Structure 1
Amino acid sequence: MNIALIGASGFIGSVLLKEAVSRQHQVTAFVSHPEKISATIQVAVQATDVQNLPQLTEQLQGFDAVITAFSGHANEDVVGYYVSGIKNIIQAAKNTNAMRLLVVGGAGSLEVAPGMQVMDQPGFPDAYRASAEGARQALSLLREETSLNWTMLCPSGMIEPGQRTNQFRLGKDQLLIASDGKSHISVEDYALAMINELEQPAHAYQRFTVGY
């Protein structure tokens, strides 16, 4: 497939790029700092600004799918910057009649009990609250869409570098807890689950999650 990958130089985006390339997809990496990625026969690199809707719409023309790992972590207004950016990504995907939009979500909006989300629990780290809120608002925006074929994949409570094991579970709206009592996933297995969904769609118009 010919894939647009927004945020391809980030923590998750860079591993998504590696996984997609390993499975012989053609990827155009859209990043704010193109010098961070080397172009290859399978990877084209373009500078982009997700806050510029006309530019983004023009750049996203002609792809089989758009994957966004866009993040607002580095901005002073994390929530405002992220929500503004994801709105533009959604609109650009609609403007270009993108076949699919796959979105990197967050664990904060997953349920730990009926009506109780991870980020609503006492003790949820303040350092992650803004990004979790941005991802929660992004999910609400996506759920309002009826014409755009979207999917959001949320990681488990902890996502960190590890192994590509292909030994994980998929869930829907509830936080997955492993037999060791932890909620975790390697970024490599997260990327594997995302590209699996790209190749074999099973969660159209849905959020799902992955964990051990």
Structure 2
Amino acid sequence: MKIAIIGATGFVGTAIRKEAVSRGHQVLALTRSPQKITPSSVLAVREIDVNDSEALAQALAGYDVVVHAFAPPRSDSVQERIARQTRGTQSIIKAAKQAGIERLVVVGGAGTAEVAPGVPLMNSYFFPPEYEGGARSTAAIKELLQAEKSIDWVFVSPPNILEAGVRTGNYRTGKDNLVIELASGRSYLSVEDYALAMLDEIENPRHHRQRFTVGT
């Protein structure tokens, strides 16, 4: 497949990029830091401003699927992150439509995953306040996607703890619930296994215009 990844040098975007390349796909890495990636015969690299929807549409033309892994800097305030993510996502959606992209696979956040029916993690009493910026900004992505009718999107929410680790090849999925380990009670997944779940969904789509959750 031809897969374009927006935000291909970020924490999650890097893992997705490596997983896609390892599976033999033709990958386009779109990033504001192209110097961080070495191009190859299966990996093209292009510097892009996510807010330039015209340039983005030109770059995306001809690709089978687009991965939205764009995230504002963590150093921004909560409101700045929400505003920047909203603008960036609006631009990505506009560009994808203009380029004729039918499938948009989005890196979601754990904050919108439910810890009880109708209760998202980010609204629970035990949610760490230092994660609010990421949670609220990715929630803005989900809201924008839910208003879309003409593009086939999927929003993939990770567990509460997503960190660099080992690619085990194992993960579990849920629908809206935060995926929690039964034995330990924690919600965890390595970013390598998160990328695995993303590529499995890209290669064999099972979710359409909806969110699903992943974890161990």
**Pairwise same-fold verdict (TM > 0.5):** yes
Identity of aligned residues (%): 44
Please give the alpha-carbon distance, in whole angstroms, between the structure 1 residues aligned to 2:119 and 2:4. Answer: 34
Please give the alpha-carbon distance, in whole angstroms, between the structure 2 residues aligned to 1:195 and 1:73. Answer: 25
Partner of 2:89: 86
Please, which of 91, 111, 121 is the counterpart of residue 114 of structure 2? Answer: 111
Partner of 1:122: 125
Please give the alpha-carbon distance, in whole angstroms, between the structure 2 residues aligned to 1:100 and 1:174. Answer: 24
Q: Secondary structure at the match of 2:66?
A: strand
Please give the alpha-carbon distance, in whole angstroms, between the structure 1 residues aligned to 2:146 and 2:35. Answer: 35
Aligned Cα RMSD in Å? Answer: 1.1
Matches within 5 A, 1:165-204: 165-178=168-181, 179-204=183-208
Contact 1:17 1:27 in 2 (8 A): yes
Please give the alpha-carbon distance, in whole angstroms, between the structure 1 residues aligned to 2:40 and 2:33. Answer: 17
1:115-173 residue CA offsets vs partner (Å, 9 max, x unmatched): 21100012422221112111111111111111101011110010011111122111110
Taking structure 2 as the reference length, what is the TM-score of the superposition? 0.95
User: Which segments of 5 or more consecutive residues in structure 1 lack a partner in the other structure?
Assistant: none
Q: Secondary structure at the match of 1:193?
A: helix
Please give the alpha-carbon distance, in whole angstroms, between the structure 2 residues aligned to 1:193 and 1:210. Answer: 8
Contact 1:15 1:188 in 2 (8 A): yes
Taking structure 1 as the reference length, what is the TM-score of the superposition? 0.97
Q: CA deviation at 1:39?
A: 0.4
Please give the alpha-carbon distance, in whole angstroms, between the structure 2 residues aligned to 1:37 and 1:82. Answer: 23
1:62-117 residue CA offsets vs partner (Å, 9 max, x unmatched): 10110111001246321111111011111111111102100000000011112211
Contact 1:75 1:81 in 2 (8 A): no
Structure 1 residue runs of 4 or more that deviate by more than 4 Å after TM superposition: none
Please give the alpha-carbon distance, in whole angstroms, between the structure 2 residues aligned to 1:148 and 1:11. Answer: 26
Please give the alpha-carbon distance, in whole angstroms, between the structure 1 residues aligned to 2:125 and 2:16. Answer: 32
Partner of 2:65: 65
